[in-house]
Amino acid sequence: MQMVFGMNGWWKRLAAGSAVAALLVGWSGNARGFDLAANGAASGTDAVASGERYVLHLHHLHTGESLDVVYRVGNRYLPEAMDKLNYFLRDHRTNDVSHYDPKEFDLLHSVMAKLGKPNGVIDVVCGYRTPWSNNYLRTRGAVTGVAKNSQHMQARAIDIRVPGVETKTLRNVALSLRGGGVGYYPISQFVHVDVGPVRQWTFAGSGD
């Protein structure tokens, strides 16, 4: 193991660490406060500091919570950011938390980039669902548009709106990415996006 001696080496290491810390700690500029992304030391400070920052701006329509988060830097998903996203997307009926497939966040990021709104806000209609919540939604009517084995229960799906973007336009952009399943709910005005098999459907009734 190479040791660094002398003041010059010490200051270089301190400066490198400070640069990474400054990169990964963001201030949202409003009541949302700080978003500490994660500790990048495990993959090397140079790799983390030079990587592209992947950011999501989310607002949950049921809980009223908002989250601005850097969830990935370069090819590394940031563990503390994953924890924040998993909690934010918890089942809002039971407060149960799951562990989302990070590819779902990449899909949301790609949707916003293709819309030309990389800094836009995504309104979350529904994130993770426990089996109990999924069954509850399925039994609210004869036809509900809720799948028995929904990707929501696997933490691989999110129902979304994007303020200022028509639901049909959002659907078309999601379809063009071919990142998984896309459900179009024109009455309820949201789009389901998941990272399961590539498929599409339209539900003309009201859903959640």
For the segment 138-186, what is each residue's pLDDT rounded down to a tens digit?
887 766 778 888 999 999 999 999 999 999 999 999 999 999 999 999 9
Do 155 and 99 meet the contact criterion of CB atoms below 8 Å apart? yes
The mean pLDDT of the chain is 81
Mean pLDDT of the 60-80 span: 98
Report pLDDT for 35. Answer: 39
- Alpha helix positions (H), 72-191: 79-88, 102-114, 131-138, 167-177
Look up the pTM and report it. 0.75
Query: Which residues, in sequence order, are CB contacts of 8 under 8 Å at separation 6+?
Result: none
CA distances from 20 to 36, 77, 92, 102, 158 (A): 12, 15, 34, 22, 31
Q: Is the pLDDT of residue 11 over 90?
A: no
CA–CA dist 103, 72 (Å, integer)? 11
Give the CATH number of domain 89-202; options: 3.30.1380.10, 3.30.70.141, 1.20.120.160, 3.50.50.60: 3.30.1380.10
